[in-house]
Amino acid sequence: MPALALFAFAVLGPIIGTGVFSLYEWDGFGEQVAVGLDNYSRALSDRVFRTAFLNVAIYIALTLILEVLVGLILAGLITARTKGTAFFRVVFFIPVTLPIVVVAVIWGFVYNPDFGLINSLLEEVSLQSWAQIWLGNPRTALVAVSVVSGWIFSGFFMAIFYAGIRQIPTEIVEAARIDGASEFQIFRRVKVPMIRNVVLVACLLAIVGGFQGFDLFFVLTNGGPFNATEIPTTYLVKAVFRHQNVGYGSAMAVIMTLTVLGISGVFALLRRRGREERTAH
């Protein structure tokens, strides 16, 4: 089977290879020195790597709000009316279709301290004191990157939720409306519970996707200032391609992979339990 051959060659083999490399100290050219689990203990005691994990956790938490929650609200708004929403659906989804790198370059300008859109707008409404060096301040940089992430992906989650809400039988919504429920109540008490599974999957997508985020960070800050936006992916790319520590980078990659698989496993369990509960009722 050609599919298997290609997959084994380009993905499976390298997965195993990365695992093997993680047990060596190697610069990619010279001698390989077996060091057992040294790379792993180094990673666990590496302050920057731990910061990177903390940062990505914060980033994921922020994206759950800025992507998933905002996406849910957008879907709620759009389904509150039956007509005249197609335009908005199209507009909100535009960022999803652009390469992330391109979006990152654009937002790099939006955040520019001298002529960026944000600081100029603030100046326009006489709020200069709010102007910030968004990407250069360790306190704001991570949030600033997360906002861009929200700008891109909230439209994507909106589309998912929109599709989910559309599948809710109209009678249920109509019944609630006849009972005098407001649109907001319908949204909270009918629509969201009905698409609970979709929301769960969306959270998983946001979390796993967040762990793999790289492009935005690489272009906007590349981990700076002072590791304030360092995440495992940017850090391990630095380790491998800048400092030529193939072994150490591989060990970090393995740790990341295990984390992602662990989270996916937890979600699979949650889903199964949810399904069992429903069949039990």
Partner 1 sequence: MKTVLGSRTLFYSVMALLTAFYGLPLLWLLASTFKENREIFSTPLSLPTAIDFSSWAKAWEIGNIGRYAFNSAFVTSSSVIVILLFASLAAFGFSRFRFPGKKGLLVVFGIGLLMPLQSYFIAQNLLFEALNLKGHRWTLIIPYAAMGLPLAIYLLKVYLDSLPGDLFDAARIDGCGEIRIFTSIVVPLLRPGLATVGIFSALQAWNEFLLAFIYVTEDAHKTIPTGLVAFSSRYVTDYQLLFSALAIVVLPMIAIYALFHRQIVAGITDGSLR
Partner 2 sequence: MTVGRRKVSGIGIAIVLAILVAACGEDAQETTTTAAPTTTEAAMEEVTLRVAMSSPGDVQIGVWEAVAAAFEEGNPNVTVELNFVADDIYETIGLQSLLTGNDAPDIYFEWAGARLANRYQEGFAADLSDFRENELSSLLEDGAFNGMVVDGKTVMVPGNADVTTVMWYNVDIFEEHGLAVPETWDEMLELSKTLLEAGVTPIGIGNKDLWPVGNWTSHIVSRSMGEEAYDQMLKREIPMDNPALIEALDYIVQMQEAGIVNESANAINDNDGAELFFRGEAAMHPIGSWLVSWAIEVAPDLNFDFFNLPPLDGAGVQDSIIAVSTGHVINAQSENIEVAKDFMLLFSSLEFASMMVDAGGTPLTNGAFDREDIDPRVQSLVELIQNAGAVVAPPDTGYELEVAEALYQAEAEVLAGVSTPAEAAANAEAKLG
DSSP 178-189: HTT--HHHIIII
For residues 23 to 62, the per-residue mask of contacts with partner 1, x marking binding by CB under 8 A and - elsewhere, is: -----x----------------------------------
**The only residue of 57, 96, 133, 143 in contact with partner 1, by rule CB under 8 A:** 96
Describe the chain by its helix, strand, coil percentages, rounded to 5.
75, 0, 25
Cβ proximity of 249 and 239 under 8 Å: yes
242 binds partner 2 (CB under 8 A): yes
d(CA 210, CA 57): 9
Q: Is 116 in the site for partner 1 (CB under 8 A)?
A: yes
Q: Determine if 217 is a binding residue for partner 2 (CB under 8 A).
A: no
Nearest approach in angstroms of CB 20 to partner 2 is: 20
Residue 185 or residue 222: which is nearer to partner 2 going by CB?
222
* Shortest distance, position 33 Cβ to partner 1, whole Å: 16
In one letter, which amino acid is 184? Answer: F
Q: Is 99 in the site for partner 1 (CB under 8 A)?
A: yes
- Work out whether 149 is an interface residue with partner 2 (CB under 8 A): no
74 binds partner 1 (CB under 8 A): yes
99 binding partner (options partner 1, partner 2, none; Cβ < 5 to 8 Å by kind): partner 1
Asked if 244 interacts with partner 1 (CB under 8 A), we say: no
**Alpha carbon distance 164, 129 (integer Å):** 43
Return d(Cα 108, Cα 122) in angstroms, integer: 17
Residue 228: count other Cβ atoms within 10 Å of its Cβ: 19
